[in-house]
Structure 1
Amino acid sequence: MEPPRPYAVSLTLADLPDEVRAMLAADTPLQEPPRQGRTSRVAFALDASGRPVVLKRSVGPHLEVIRREHRALCAVHPLGVPAPEPLLFLERAASAGLEGWLMTRRLPGITLEAALGAELDRAGRTALLTNFGAHLARLHATPPPPGLGGHDCLETVLASARRLNPAADVARFDPRRNRPPAPVALAFIHGDLFLVNVMTEGGRVTGLIDWSFAEVGDPRSDVAVAMHGLTRADQAAFAEGYGPAGRLTPAEAAYFVELALLF
């Protein structure tokens, strides 16, 4: 029998801790995003001043993921990086075990995945993806905040995947078959840059969400995940904005995407 899924039930106002409710508008509805993540239950709401916020709840083995996101947002937001502003984080005992709650500002717009799905004009797609590439290049050029950890070897990455995603089939990643590419200079990376984690509005990127895996790491991992599933024309537009390092070999792209899918 499949184990119960902790995020199968929608959040209600009654679920919220008092500290969270105190920061929200009295009559705010809780709206679910079109897609839910694997590690948190997510809802949109309005704060007491009417500004949009995002609420996240994680329990059990996924609590560490939301803790990591809070620490990362506290570190990166003061740098001017396009990330949501963290407003509140707390942990409390609940019937399902210890749970964590995170409230952040909501970035405007829709995901890059949704924008590309709706954008049929070639010029519009090219401009949006070029802008995305330029945003990512600026992130990788940003000096990382103090204390931001990193993975210095493949075994550390695999151990982290086992810990943060117990359901991951880490054994299928065979280091003999998936040999790491030659090393490059490390950079400040997002670490989970699938297109659902990129927000856009008016044909431009407004910011990046879901920062649980931000670290000092190989910038090619962000590039590979960002381009995963894009057409050749879309990949070329992204690389135009990112620069020459945005043109990965097929082996580099496959290696980093397979690693990312473990988390």
Structure 2
Amino acid sequence: MTRTDVPRDADPQLAARVCAELGSAAAGPLTVLEGGRSGLTYRIDVGGMPLVVKAVPPGREPTGRNDVLRQSHVLSALAGSGLPVPAVVARSEEAPGWFAMEFAAGEALEPVLDPAGGADSVLSRLRMLEAARVLGALHAVDLDTLTGGIAAAGGTPPEVSGPADELERWTRTMEAVPADLRPGAAELLDHLAATAPDPVAPVLVHGDFRLGNLLCDGARPTALVDWEIWGLGDPRVDLGWFGVFTDGALFPGVGSVVSGLPGEDELLHVYREARGTDGGTGTDTMWFRALGRLKMAAIMGHNLRRHREGRHHDPVQEQLPPTILALIRSAGSVLDGKPS
């Protein structure tokens, strides 16, 4: 979705803190940005240049998606890497924490899910190929340099997570979804657990790598955003997740099939060329593709459950059961070596 302003201003106390830190050049209110999902996301102009501010919501603990400073640490560590990441220009550890980063021009459209995304299939294809190159470059980042940069920015490098850890995390999410909303999920989870592969050498994993989190100006990537679940882990986790968004048939009723998009095998080839090595990504490919589908089904089931429990009213969630079923069935077919 394109990140645009909506007519709402930030908490006055936060605005005052941000302006005091950024100096007299800070002009105008802190304006809420649509599209921010981790913490609170705002825009402010400083010396005629727009900045994006991410902040911990007042009264919330800086954990999970609200730990915005953790995101700032990895972005600072990636400065000078050549990757399209926004530069961090200020941060404050005082609760509630916040940081400011460059505002990147561009749009982030998910072709198979965004109604506007499928309008130009040629452009969508070019963007996906460019995204595969960005992912290859991301996974080529030297971890010693990265962890040193994270520490220098005031952060703590996380523990390395393997495929079994990833499966355990998403198993908990899926099992919290009512059984009637996830037909076939128990069998799929058993199959994945019985065939979990050994990890390969760890890399910097974005955790939610897809076009919806990559701002582009035309076909040129300008910023990889939404780093709320980044970690150190298996590169095939990012690849399997990215691949879910190549096929609109996995999203019946809520997505659309976009002709000409690269498939998972083509993206993998482009990724390896950009990374300069196989990096172990040629093994157990189907397991990670199935895992990606399971993750999406679990997320959708979780969102539908929250809606039905009245925790987040969103009637659109009622369209999700066919997609949840399609994702679970496709994951099982991929594991069995059949067309999904």
Greater helix share, 1 or 2?
2
TM more than 0.5 = yes
Q: TM-score, normalised by structure 2?
A: 0.59
Contact kept in structure 1, 2:117 and 2:124, CA below 8 Å: no
Quick one: distance in 2 between partners of 1:212 and 1:82?
17
Q: Does 1:238 align with 2:267?
A: yes
Quick one: distance in 2 between partners of 1:52 and 1:66?
19
Shift of 1:109: 0.6
Q: Structure 1 residues 217-226 or 24-33, which shifts more?
A: 24-33
Contact kept in structure 2, 1:151 and 1:216, CA below 8 Å: yes
Structure 2 unaligned residues grouped into runs of 5+: 1-6, 149-156, 177-184, 249-259, 273-277, 303-340
Equivalent in the alignment of 1:21: 19
Equivalent in the alignment of 1:124: 123
Q: Structure 1 residues 52-61 or 229-238, which shifts more?
A: 229-238
SS in 2 for 1:84: coil
Quick one: distance in 2 between partners of 1:101 and 1:197?
20
Quick one: distance in 2 between partners of 1:101 and 1:158?
31
Quick one: distance in 1 between partners of 2:73 and 2:169?
17
Structure 1 unaligned residues grouped into runs of 5+: 1-8, 93-97, 162-167
Equivalent in the alignment of 1:34: 34
- The code of the aligned residue for 1:101 comes to W
Q: Does 1:135 align with 2:144?
A: no
Equivalent in the alignment of 1:102: 99
Contact kept in structure 2, 1:130 and 1:239, CA below 8 Å: no
Equivalent in the alignment of 1:253: 289
Quick one: distance in 2 between partners of 1:61 and 1:257?
30
> For residues 126 and 75 of structure 1, do their structure 2 counterparts lie closer, same or farther at Cα, with a shift above 3 Å needed?
same
Quick one: distance in 2 between partners of 1:136 and 1:70?
19
- The code of the aligned residue for 1:16 comes to L
- The code of the aligned residue for 1:146 comes to T
| Higher CA-based Rg | 2
- The code of the aligned residue for 1:224 comes to G
Contact kept in structure 1, 2:129 and 2:262, CA below 8 Å: no
Q: Equivalent of 1:67, from 66, 69, 75? A: 69
Contact kept in structure 2, 1:68 and 1:213, CA below 8 Å: no
Give per-residue Cα distances to partners, 1:179-219, cap 9 Å, x unaligned.
Answer: 22343332222222143321111212112112233332111
Contact kept in structure 1, 2:87 and 2:101, CA below 8 Å: yes
> For residues 169 and 129 of structure 1, do their structure 2 counterparts lie closer, same or farther at Cα, with a shift above 3 Å needed?
closer
Quick one: distance in 1 between partners of 2:284 and 2:107?
27
Matches within 5 A, 1:74-223: 74-92=76-94, 98-113=95-110, 117-118=116-117, 120-144=119-143, 145-147=146-148, 148-153=157-162, 157=166, 169=173, 171-172=175-176, 176-179=190-193, 180-223=196-239
SS in 1 for 2:56: strand
Quick one: distance in 1 between partners of 2:174 and 2:131?
30
Shift of 1:157: 4.9
Identity, in percent, stands at 22
Q: Structure 1 residues 78-87 or 224-233, which shifts more?
A: 224-233
Contact kept in structure 2, 1:109 and 1:201, CA below 8 Å: yes
Contact kept in structure 1, 2:91 and 2:99, CA below 8 Å: yes
SS in 2 for 1:82: coil
Quick one: distance in 2 between partners of 1:68 and 1:58?
11
> For residues 55 and 257 of structure 1, do their structure 2 counterparts lie closer, same or farther at Cα, with a shift above 3 Å needed?
farther
SS in 2 for 1:99: coil
Q: TM-score, normalised by structure 1?
A: 0.74
Quick one: distance in 2 between partners of 1:77 and 1:159?
32
- Give the root-mean-square deviation of aligned CA atoms: 3.6
